[in-house]
Amino acid sequence: MKIIGGISSQSLSKRISDKLDIPIVAIEYKTFPDGEKYCRILEDIEGEDVLVVQSISSDSDLIYLLEIIDACKNLEVGKKIVLIPYFGYARQDKIFEIGEPISARVIAGLIKADKIYTVNIHSRSVLNFFGSPVDDLNAMPLLVDHIKDTSLTDPVVVAPDEGSADTVFNAASNYYDFDYMEKTRISSDKVVIKPKKLDVRGRDIVIMDDMISTGGTVLETAKMMKENGANDIYALCVHPVLVRDTLLRLYAAGIKEVISTDTIEKITSRVSIAPMITEKLKTMF
């Protein structure tokens, strides 16, 4: 097997390569003056099984991924395994207004391979849109392992909303006290958010979610934790989307540290999913 590193997942590709001790294929990426994307695989990989690693954080990332897959077809490779660490269209999985497409269905249907892996996809319903065999991997336990290596004070792991509660609970509850933020609607325009059960006074808080994008729910949770007497607050996520000034706003709100995996390469990416990916691939070959 050889690894084809997508332009958005270059460092992760190297980490997986090192773990599996398999080579990375030379590939060229460029953009034409009119904005068109171009890639070219620079090695003869006919008959080789390949692992394509490419997060979809932008439209360009999607185009490059589709081009790589087509180039592999033209080169008559063996098995094509596609790892999409971050699938950026997963939040567009249903129709909210008349006339909208289901964008996640459109994008997922374009990606063809012998096997596709995603990581903590935002909505598992999206998995049904793929036309190829697909498996979603859970990186939350890697974040919990990271917490274990720190010296926090009587930590509580908190999910910022009920939507993420089950995933966070399953990863963390065997090791730490767990809570989630409960929303109570007071009126049509007023919502109260509060911890569901635990007393957090004097305790370190780890807010954990699958992704941090604008940081709205994390900010609300951090504010409430402070008001309830929490000590240091940390924010951990699988996917550090972190649009615009989100990271600055999180720090300004008193969050001591933001830590993420490397599904998207950011300054917060201190936990690699490479060990999880390599263990999964070892079961296939």
Q: pLDDT tens digits for 22-56?
A: 999 999 999 999 999 999 999 999 999 999 999 99
61 assigned ligand-binding residue: no
146 assigned ligand-binding residue: no
The predicted-structure confidence for 186-217, as pLDDT tens digits, reads as follows 554 444 566 666 788 999 999 999 999 999 88
Picking from 30-34, 136-140, 158-162, which range would have the lowest pLDDT averaged per residue? Answer: 158-162
CATH code, 2-138+272-282: 3.40.50.2020
Mean pLDDT of the chain: 93
What are 187's two structure tokens? 């009126």
Q: What is the share, in percent, of the chain residues with pLDDT greater than 70? A: 94
Position 198 scores a pLDDT of 73
Is pTM beyond 0.75 here? Answer: yes
How far apart are the two ends of the chain, measured CA to CA in Å? 9
Position 183 scores a pLDDT of 62
Position 191 scores a pLDDT of 46
The DSSP secondary-structure symbol of 24 reads B
167 assigned ligand-binding residue: no
Q: Where are the domains positioned within the chain?
A: 2-138+272-282, 140-262
Q: Which of 73, 94, 183, 197 is catalytic?
A: 183
Position 285 scores a pLDDT of 63
Residue corresponding to tokens 């097997």: 1
Position 179 scores a pLDDT of 87
Q: What angle do CA 71, 76, 79 make, to 5 degrees?
A: 95
Position 194 scores a pLDDT of 65
229 assigned ligand-binding residue: no
Indicate the residue type of 226.
K
β-bridge mates for residue 215, sequence order: none
Q: What is the mean pLDDT of residues 46-73?
A: 98
Given a cut of 80, whether residue 182 has pLDDT beyond it is no
Residues 19 and 275 sit within 8 Å (Cβ to Cβ):
yes
Domain 140-262 CATH (choose: 3.40.50.2300, 3.40.50.2020, 3.40.50.720, 3.40.50.2000):
3.40.50.2020
Q: What is the mean pLDDT of residues 103-127?
A: 96
122 assigned ligand-binding residue: yes
154 assigned ligand-binding residue: no
185 assigned ligand-binding residue: yes
* 28 Cα distance to chain centroid: 25
The DSSP secondary-structure symbol of 130 reads -
Picking from 8-17, 92-101, 177-186, which range would have the lowest pLDDT averaged per residue? Answer: 177-186
Residue corresponding to tokens 């999206």: 126
203 assigned ligand-binding residue: no
**183 is a catalytic site residue:** yes
Position 85 scores a pLDDT of 98
Q: What is the share, in percent, of the chain residues with pLDDT greater than 90? A: 82
Cβ neighbours of residue 149 closer than 8 Å, sequence gap 6 or more:
none
Q: What is the mean pLDDT of residues 143-147?
A: 95
- pLDDT band, very low/low/confident/very high, at 144 (cuts 50, 70, 90): very high
Do 140-262 and 2-138+272-282 fall under one CATH topology? yes
